[in-house]
């Protein structure tokens, strides 16, 4: 769903390092390349130390500092308008309110809440492990009543809701839910 920015940033840095190493390796086969690079670096250093009203290095420092602002404003202007998928954290399934959060683009802390009093529901599994009629009951301790009687164990119920959330994200239905709740 959502890309892991730290991992993609790290892989970009590794790729940039490998490209730099390849360029330096290729430059070592060119006679006089390192001498030429050192001369350019020395000329650039002399240019930085020179002054023209203000030291030249201060102009470069200002230019580097302004790059951040330019990138920020370009990102701000081109930013997607409207809610993001990360805003989709609550929905109703099987007549019950479900809430969750995201960690590294994955749904976490998915659980049911009472539609009447908003209390976190307690589950009870009825039937043995191999019983085909095994059920999961969701009970509200505040209201004192069963809110859901579902076929299968608790893990099956949570995974079923997770699949429904995934379906709504893939089909774009999540945007309608976020628009209704905001």
Query: What distance in Å separates the CA atoms of residue 136 and residue 138, rounded to the nearest whole number?
Result: 7
> pLDDT tens digits for 76-91?
888 767 678 888 999 9
pTM of the entire structure?
A: 0.55
What's the whole-number mean pLDDT along residues 48-60?
A: 78
Residue ranges in 28-129 assigned as alpha helix (H): 33-49, 56-78
Distance set, CA 2 to CA 7, 75, 163, 164 (Å): 12, 18, 17, 18
The answer to whether the CB of 83 falls within 8 A of the CB of 97 is no
**Domain boundaries in the chain?**
5-78, 87-181
Q: Is the pLDDT of residue 10 over 90?
A: no
């Amino acid at each position: 769903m959502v890309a892991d920015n730290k991992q993609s940033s790290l892989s970009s840095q590794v790729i940039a390092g490998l490209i730099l190493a390849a360029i330096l390796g290729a430059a070592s086969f060119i006679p006089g390349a390192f001498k030429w690079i050192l001369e350019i670096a020395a000329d650039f250093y002399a240019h930085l130390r020179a002054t023209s009203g203000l030291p030249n290095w201060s102009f470069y420092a200002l230019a580097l500092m302004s790059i951040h602002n330019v990138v920020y404003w370009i990102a701000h202007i081109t930013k997607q308008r409207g809610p993001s998928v990360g805003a989709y954290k609550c929905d109703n399934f099987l007549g019950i309110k479900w809430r969750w959060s995201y960690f590294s683009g994955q749904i976490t802390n998915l659980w049911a809440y009472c539609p009447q009093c908003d209390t976190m529901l307690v589950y009870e599994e009825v039937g043995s492990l191999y019983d085909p009629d095994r059920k999961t009951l969701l009970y509200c301790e505040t209201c004192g009543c069963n809110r859901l009687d579902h076929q299968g164990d608790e893990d099956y119920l949570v995974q079923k809701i997770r699949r429904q959330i995934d379906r709504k994200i893939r089909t774009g239905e999540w945007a309608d839910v976020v628009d209704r709740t905001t």
